Amino acid sequence: MNIIITGANRGLGLMLVLEAAKRGHRVWAGVRDVSSQAAGSLINIAKQYTGMVEIVPLDVSDEVGIASLANRLRKEGRSIDSIINNAAVLIGRERSLEELDISELERTMDVNVYGPVRMVKHFMRLLPVGSSTIVNISSASGSFERAYGGDYSYAISKAALNLFSHQLHHLLEPKGIQIYAVHPGWLRTDMGGPQATNDPSMPAPGIIDLAEGKIKCEGAHVFVDHNGNALPK
């Protein structure tokens, strides 16, 4: 399989690259900064799995850059079997609604929602009909049924991402392209913090299983956990 993963230099993204490479998949690992300081661990994985992992500059807020990479791969005759939209930000979570900084909300939407939209817009044409997947890394904070008063920017962005995922399901499922919005759990990453319950390596195998089509979600279940279990909308 050929897989493109955004936000691949740390946390869950890094573990997804490692899991995919272990299984013999060809991975384009997208990062904003390809320097050794920012992508050191990813560079080590690329060296370990020579020829399987290509680190590519990919800022999901830069549509020109996204389009350029998609066009490059198309000209090379590449197809993409799975897009994993992992890149995200969590900022201003401590703010009350009265203190909400709208610029932080705008930045969050730009990365967490518009980023996946840009990625699908330009890479969708590289997806083989009948045998490909789009995995949007979401969060239970985007569930309408589990909504709470807090994390406004992040929760709103993930709810919007879930809606976009359902729209993609209706658009692409007739072509045999599977769409998932995946809640990976509370992870010990720069975003999740040290008090989180799970290591980012924990959900990676299940997410790659979804990308491979090994896990089949019954019905129109789009919003799922990393094992493919349906979550409340």
Each residue's pLDDT, cut to its tens digit, for the chain (233 residues) gives 999 999 999 999 999 999 999 999 999 999 999 998 889 999 999 999 999 999 999 999 999 999 999 999 999 999 999 999 999 999 998 899 999 999 999 999 999 999 999 999 999 999 999 989 999 999 999 999 999 999 999 999 999 999 999 999 999 999 999 999 999 987 878 788 787 778 899 999 999 999 999 987 766 689 999 999 999 98
**Rounded CA separation 21/46 (Å):** 9
CA angle 78, 44, 108 (to 5 degrees): 70
Give me the pLDDT at residue 121, please. Answer: 98
User: What pLDDT is stored for residue 27 in this prediction?
Assistant: 98
The residue with tokens 């699908």 is 120
Single-letter residue type at 184: P
69 near 58, Cβ under 8 Å?
Answer: yes
In contact, 6 and 84? CB cutoff 8 Å: yes
Could you give the CA distance from residue 91 to residue 171 in angstroms, rounded to a whole number? 31
Domains recognised in the chain with CATH numbers: 2-225 (3.40.50.720)
Q: What distance in Å separates the CA atoms of residue 194 and residue 192, rounded to the nearest whole number?
A: 7
DSSP track, 8-27: TTSHHHHHHHHHHHHTT-EE
pLDDT digits (tens, 9 = 90+) for 8-23: 999 999 999 999 999 9
The string of pLDDT tens digits covering residues 193-232 is: 787 778 899 999 999 999 999 987 766 689 999 999 999 9
Separation between Cα atoms, residue 65 and residue 45, nearest integer Å: 24
pTM over 0.75: yes
**Cβ contacts of 50 within 8 Å, gap of 6 or more:** none
